[in-house]
Every structure is written in structure tokens, then in C-alpha cells.
Amino acid sequence: MTLKIAPKKQPAEDPRHIQALQNYETGLRALQEHKFEKAKTSLQKVLSGPNKSLVDRAQVHIITCDKNLAQPALHFKSPEEHFDYAMSIMNSGDFVTAGEHLDKLLKQQPQSDYVLYGLAALYCLTGHVEESLKTLHEAIQIGPALRFQARNDSDFQNLAEDPRFTELLYPDPGPDESEAPAESPSPY
């Protein structure tokens, strides 16, 4: 006698669960795109779904949306204003946020001497000596006057004893003109 094994019937998916899952995915995509109002609307639709785990996740994301919607968006009139904002954040000790702003500025203006200078200061303050020296060198190559500013900038005090820093700020002027060979007088 052979037994016939009947295939298991797949339970029909709950249409409310499918809809909640779609709303959750839409909300998550909008959240990743920083479209917080749209994300919140989609995620709120998930709250009436049957899946408690999905509801809990949606609630967490809604809180994230609310926090971002409560913060006013930052709009700067100029790159210099954005730079000043980044420096004020750095001076308050929030090095991570300052770095994010400086990186954004550097992408917009890759050859900006003052942005490179700010990054060099940030690197120095956070103990990244090699990056600080390299970035300060780049800044000085673009804007040689920054050499004099760096000499008195307390943000670089961690480098004060480093000979590479000294060489960067006080370069060797080269041979004196008095040591240069004299030109022979013109016969005419």
C-alpha cells in the first residue's frame, strides 16, 4: 500500500499584511532619500497592519521622520557662510558634524584653500597628524598666505614640535643672492 502525500496548501497571504509591507518598503525608501514627510505618511499606514513586528519597526522610523522634520533645513547663502558654520561646529567640539560639512564643501570646491585649511585644522584637532600635514600643505600650495595664519593658529598646537610642520610654515628661502655667482660684465 502506497501512501499518497498531498501537497501542503499554502495559506493565502493576508492582503492587509501585503499592503502593510508595501507601505513599509515605500516609507523606508523615502526615508533613505530624506523625504521625511512622504516616509512618515507611508509608515503611518503600516501601523494599522496585522504584523506587530512591522508595526514596531514603522514606529521607530516615524520617530526618525519626526526628528528630521522638527529640525529646520540648513540653507547657506554662500560657501563662505557654510564654512563659517562648519568652523563654529568644530569650535564647539562636534568634530564629526564639522567634518561632514567640510567634506560637503570640499566636494563643491575641491581647490578651495580655506576649506582645505579647515580640514587640516580638524585633522590636527582629532589627532590625524599625517592627514593634517598633507592637507595643510595642499592649502598652502593654493593660498600661500595661509602659511602665516597657521603659524598663530592654536588649532595646530599639536603640531608645534613636529619638524615637518615647521618646514611647512618656515620654508628654506634657498641660496642667498650674495652667494649666487656674479654675472660677467657685458663687453658692450
Q: Is the pLDDT of residue 118 over 70?
A: yes
Nine-digit cell at 178? 650674495
Split at pLDDT 50, 70, 90, the class of 31 is confident
Examine the pLDDT at 185 and tell me if it is beyond 50.
Answer: no
CA distance 122 to 108: 18
pLDDT at 180 > cutoff 50: no
Q: Amino acid identity of 114?
A: Y
pLDDT of residue 121: 96
Measured between alpha carbons, how far is 81 from 63 in angstroms, rounded to an integer?
31
Who has greater pLDDT, 18 or 3?
Answer: 18
Question: What would the DSSP string read from start to end of 136-153?
Answer: HHHHHHH-TTHHHHHHT-
Interior/surface letters 63-77, b for 16+ CB within 10 angstroms, e for the rest: eebeeeeeeeeeeee
pLDDT attached to residue 99? 92
- Reported for 17-22, long-range contacts at CB under 8 A and 24+ positions apart, including other chains, are 17/49, 17/50, 17/51, 19/45, 19/49, 20/45, 20/46, 20/48, 20/49, 20/50, 20/51, 20/54, 20/55, 21/49, 21/51, 21/54
Task: Average the pLDDT over 41-61 and give the result.
Answer: 91
pLDDT confidence tier of residue 106, bands split at 50, 70 and 90: very high
Domain residue spans of the chain: 15-70, 79-169
Which DSSP symbol is given to 172? -
Retrieve residue 1's grid coordinates. Answer: 500500500
Alpha helices (H) along the chain: 15-32, 36-46, 52-70, 79-91, 95-108, 113-125, 129-142, 146-151, 163-169
Q: Which residues have CB under 8 Å from 120's CB, separation 6+?
A: 131, 132, 133, 135, 136, 139, 150, 156
Q: Dig out the grid coordinates for 141 from the structure.
A: 600650495
In the predicted structure, residue 51 carries a pLDDT above the cut 90: no
CATH class (in words) of the domain with range 79-169: mainly alpha
Whole-prediction pTM = 0.57
